[in-house]
Chain A
Amino acid sequence: MSSQDIPEENLPAEQDHAHGAVAVADEVHPFADPGLPPHEHRIQDIDERAARRSERMVALLFTVSMLATVGFIVSYVTIPHDKNIFVFPIGRISALNFALGLTLGVALFCIGAGAVHWARTLMSDVEVADDRHAIAATPEVRAKVHADFREGAKESALGRRKLIRNTMFGALALVPLSGVMLLRDLGPLPGTSLRHTLWAKGKRLVNMNTNQPLRPEDIAVGSLTFAKPDGLEETDEEFQNEMAKAALMIVRLQPDNIKDKRELDWSHEGVVAFSKICTHVGCPISLYEQQTHHVLCPCHQSTFDLSDGARVIFGPAGHALPQLRIGVDSEGYLQALGDFEEPVGPAFWERG
């Protein structure tokens, strides 16, 4: 396009005479505000063909949107919901999700792009100034409101009849208590429930994976075994609540490697059982380093030394993992010799 094709009267030089006369800074105010700069014309403002190109572009975008919506409906009807396709570089993904998402995305995006292009190229882009008004009221309004309030307050006699005022405040202060009371049955009181688990004297240690009672010889040096108390089944109503406290991890150490005296006493032939629930905020600890006998909680990286009473050697946990005292019963199965002696899991105010 060359400028000769544009009608004379549309050229910027011809138009801008009328537009905001620019203030010239004088000697006293070299930084004076020159006022709004003159409006700069876009090609669409001066050349009708450019404007028509913009119009076609906007219409094209809206049309693409319509087609994409049709595509969405077609995809919904024709693509089976369990079909997977390979899309580079994402990999194997659900074909239906891919098609629906892209068609919906295009349908929406093109409406937006069309509207913005329309606004930017065809709608007036002349900047105009609007006045602001102070947010605060004028002194007269302020005085009027204050006077009205005083009058209303006086008519209520609230300030004069103190008995009404005080009893009203009392009643309003008390009435929400009913709402607070109603929250009481959100849950039972803790009592000592955080101190007890399902473990008790004579409870067998059952392998979490095989669901079979464990014998000491099942536990090899270097392995990490998870156990639950005998009798607790996945289908039990309280399974999740009980597992949240009773989950156990079992490792076998060389008895000579056990540095902590009590740990050795509570072990059986080097087999030691510790609570699996981290004493930090309750994640199940599941990373075992067999060479160092360290276990690491994958959530917040608290690290415990299983050969030294499971004391904390790194990370945010505040105290050692509780140990379960174990032995074998007459049939040679590992059994608990009692419950944990201290609460398992995260510390709490009443823990002591």
Chain B
Amino acid sequence: MSTAANDTSRARGKAPAGERIADWADGRLGIYSLAKANMRKIFPDHWSFMLGEVCMYSFIIIILTGVYLTLFFHPSMNEVVYHGSYVPLQGQTMSEAFNSTLHISFDVRGGLLVRQIHHWAALIFLAGMFVHMMRVFFTGAFRKPREINWLFGFLLFVLGMFTGFTGYSLPDDLLSGTGVRFTEGAILSMPIVGTYISYFLFGGQFPGHDFVARFYSIHILLLPGIMLGLMVAHLILVFYHKHTQFAGPGKTNNNVVGMPLLPVYMAKAGGFFFLVFGVIAAIAAVAQINPIWAMGPYRPDQVSTGAQPDWYMGFAEGLIRFMPGWEINFWGHTLVLGVFIPLVIFGVVLGAMAVYPFIESWITGDKSEHHILDRPRNAPTRTGLGVAWVTMYMITLVGGGNDLWATHFHLSINAVTWFVRIFFFVGPVIAFIATKRICLGLQRRDRDKVLHGRETGIIKRLPHGEFIEVHEPLSQEQLHTLTTHTQYAPAEIGPAVDENGVERKVTASEKLRAKLSNAYYGEDNQIPKPTSEEYKEITSGHGHH
């Protein structure tokens, strides 16, 4: 016992410093078992797997720059007179929040840079999450076992929107104040509780003296605190589930093919943080964002034209702009449908994204784990629905900027608004049909390629005068990659009678499921992938065409 102990201590004495520190930490934290599982963890490579990293890094950049900004920002609505170095506003009455933001922008060296990095990183964070979610959606990466991680991601996106909103409202400038007023109007439209919620949020009448301080604690503590927890959970699950991969030779549902975390992804992903930060810093150097000094302090009786929220709120802005102004008055009450319906649609459209994985797994009835990604074409209905959703989102964004479309393209504001009103409904339908057809076309093309080979573009004239195009058979790798995806058979309603011949009750949900399943996997909704028999029949027969 004691000899063994001596041996180890002697061995330790000779070990390099790094090893000794690691041993010390392992004795207290058990880091070796953690490192055993993760240090050489394999990650697959694909450019689209980088999108999530953009989000993570921009979030870190936001936290770093945000902490710096809190050192100088005064979250107070006390009115002060400006005496800073920006001449046009000297002598103006403004809130301390606005005053300190001017101070950061003009009198703190590098303050403007940090403010701009913070704001640009926020826009990129939200855009990154949007695109990352699209990647996960269109490749089916949300399927079991990753549904919960999809929800974490969804929450990060939604909370990110509100963190962004509370953040850009803090300087108390004319533009953001207008956005806060819009929020007040939207809250007021809620039946029964709206007025009370508004008074509790603003500490009384709008704008009151409290909202900057309240938004501040929501913006710097409450929401980012939750988001940090969610992001860590999101990452832990990515590690735990191991990353998904696209189909390919040697890649199965039971393995993960790629390169190890140490050293390749340490360097690539670690380096990527610096790339993202560097690019955002350069953007902040050359591209001005949110010049609050040009807008001036908030006044509820003043406004500028072309007022736009940050891009991720453009969706809410669009909904509120193109909705007709319906109002119902009854029994001394007002139901403000013109504002409340957009508020509900806002929640429903986002919520649809959250619940989609559960709907799809209910339709397929598939309880197995999926680690191989779908190519979007191989899930035509899902891809169609996704594109329809994006189309609706984009059309609503157009609605959110209807005034800018009108002024920049010399269109009538009424025409733009009516276009959005109609295409909010029609656009997604067209997008769905077109996307699905494109997907089916691509499936047919894959099928053709497998069965008949690749069109080489070489035209050959046969001895008897016939012209043919030479088709080159696909490699084994390609054949495997194009045929490895699973195709579901549409669910059927079971027999109308049970095993005893007694009439069975077919539930409505069963009927609905069969109908939806048919829409996903029915005869015209996916092209059967080539079977070995078809392939053999063609290849063993009269050669290639």
Residue pair B301, A347 in contact (C-beta under 8 Å)? no
Contact of A283 among B107, B182, B252, B324 (CB under 8 A): B182
Task: Verify B339–A346 contact, CB threshold 8 A.
Answer: yes
A110 to B263, CA, bound (A): 19
Decide if A125 touches B259 in the complex (CB within 8 Å). yes
A347 and B188 form a contact (CB under 8 A): yes
Chain B residues positioned under 8 Å from A352 (CB to CB): 329, 331-334
- A329 to B255 CA separation, bound complex (whole angstroms): 88
Which residue of chain B lies nearest to A245 when distances are taken between CB atoms in the complex?
Answer: B205
For residue B5, CB closer than 8 A to chain A, the reply is no
B281 contacts partner chain A, Cβ-Cβ < 8 Å: yes
Given A105-B282, A116-B275, A247-B301, A81-B106 contact (CB < 8 Å): yes
Number of inter-chain CB pairs below 8 Å: 354
A334 interfacial by beta-carbon distance below 8 Å? no
A75 to chain B, nearest CB (A): 9
* B506 is an interface residue with CB less than 8 A from chain A: no
Q: Is the CB of B181 within 8 A of A33?
A: no
B-facing residues in A99-115 (Cβ within 8 Å): 99-102, 104-115
B220-275 residues at the A interface, CB under 8 angstroms: 240-242, 249-260, 263-265, 267-268, 270-275
Given that A110-B278, A112-B278, A187-B203 are contacting pairs, would A25 and B184 also be in contact in the complex, using a CB cutoff of 8 Å?
no
Across the interface, do B195 and A132 meet the contact criterion of CB distance under 8 Å? Answer: no
Contacts of A312 in B (CB 8 A): 325
Does B199 have its Cβ within 8 Å of any Cβ on chain A?
Answer: yes
Judging by beta carbons under 8 Å apart, are B203 and A186 in contact? Answer: yes
A76 CB-CB contact with B under 8 Å: yes
A346 touches B275 (CB 8 A): no
Given contacts A102-B285, A130-B41, A317-B338, contact A188 B249 (CB under 8 A): no
Does residue A35 face the partner (Cβ distance < 8 Å to B)? yes
> Contacts A101-B282, A283-B181, A316-B325: A349 and B190 contacting too (C-beta < 8 A)?
yes
User: A186 near B257 (CB under 8 angstroms)?
Assistant: no
A226 to nearest B CB, angstroms?
7
Of B130-138, B437-445, B476-484, the one touching chain A: B476-484
**Whole-angstrom distance between the alpha carbons of A23 and B268 in the complex?**
32
Q: Which of B110-118, B150-158, B459-467, B514-522 interfaces with chain A? A: B110-118
Q: How far is the CA of A25 from the CA of B287 in the complex (A)?
A: 56
Let me know if A108 and B259 touch, CB within 8 A: no
CB of B479 within 8 A of CB of A129, answer no
Q: How many residues of B contact A (CB 8 A)?
A: 126
CA distance A145 to B300 in the complex (A): 61
Let me know if B189 is at the binding interface, CB within 8 A. yes
Contacts of A129 in B (CB 8 A): 42, 250-251, 255-257
| Interface contact B271-A119, CB-CB below 8 Å | yes
With CB as the reference atom, state the residue of chain B lying closest to A20. B250
Which residues of chain B have C-beta atoms less than 8 A from A128's C-beta? Answer: 42, 257-260
Interface size on A, residues (CB 8 A): 106
Question: If the complex has contacts A241-B207, A346-B336, are A112 and B275 also in contact, measured as CB distance less than 8 A?
Answer: yes
Interface residues of B in 194-227 (CB under 8 A from A): 194-196, 198-208, 210
In the bound complex, what is the Cα–Cα distance between A283 and B299 (angstroms)?
10
CB distance from B267 to the nearest CB of A (A): 4
Other-chain residue from B42, B263, B299, B338 in contact with A318 (beta carbon distance below 8 A): B338
Q: Which of A312-352 contact B (CB under 8 A)?
A: 312, 314-319, 345-352
A139 on the interface (CB 8 Å rule)? no
User: Separation in Å of the A295 CB from the closest CB of chain B?
Assistant: 12
CB distance from B485 to the nearest CB of A (A): 11
Stretch of A46-54, A89-97, A158-166, A214-222 on the interface side: A89-97
What are 17 A-B residue pairs whose CB atoms fall within 8 Å in the complex?
A: A33-B480, A34-B249, A102-B286, A105-B281, A107-B278, A112-B272, A113-B271, A118-B271, A123-B264, A132-B256, A187-B208, A241-B204, A241-B207, A241-B208, A300-B320, A319-B325, A352-B333
Further 6 A-B residue pairs, CB within 8 A, beyond A81-B109, A90-B286, A283-B182: A97-B284, A111-B274, A126-B259, A188-B199, A190-B195, A282-B206
Please report A residues at the B interface, Cβ cutoff 8 Å: 20, 22-25, 27-37, 76, 81-82, 87, 90, 93-94, 96-102, 104-116, 118-120, 123-132, 134-135, 183, 186-190, 193-194, 208, 226, 228, 234-235, 240-241, 243-245, 247, 276-277, 280-284, 286-287, 298-302, 312, 314-319, 345-352
Chain B interface (Cβ < 8 Å from any Cβ of A): 41-42, 79, 85, 93, 106-107, 109-110, 112-113, 116-117, 145, 178, 181-182, 184-186, 188-196, 198-208, 210, 240-242, 249-260, 263-265, 267-268, 270-288, 298-307, 320-327, 329, 331-339, 369, 371, 402-403, 413-414, 417, 450, 476-477, 479-480, 483-484, 532, 535-536, 539
